[in-house]
Amino acid sequence: MGIVGTMLARLKPQAMARALFATALAQLVVAVVALIVGMQHCPGSSVSEILGVNGFFGALFVSSALLFRRAKISDSR
């Protein structure tokens, strides 16, 4: 999702921000699907681990999106 979004955005800040927000949303969907199918019952994974790992990467994608949004704002000035 991130690679396709980057290619479609052509590295323009506003489009990159949208692509990264979409990637963060996809990361959230992955966590929800993992919990729905019962991955927390597999050995070595728990609800907190699933949410923690996916939340960590989702937060990184959102942080990057906010930085791209900020770059767009400073670029337009």
Instruction: Say what the pTM is.
Output: 0.85
How many CA atoms does the CB half-sphere of 25 hold within 13 Å?
Answer: 7
Could you report the per-residue pLDDT of 35-74, keeping only the tens digit for each? 999 999 998 899 999 999 999 999 999 999 999 999 877 7
- Give the pLDDT of residue 6: 82
6 CA to centre of own chain: 13
Closest by alpha carbon to 23, among 75, 74, 63, 73? 63
- Give the pLDDT of residue 73: 75
Residue 8 has pLDDT above 80, yes or no: yes
- Give the pLDDT of residue 11: 82
Here the tokens at position 56 are: 């960590």
Here the tokens at position 52 are: 């923690």
Q: Domain ranges in the chain? A: 2-76
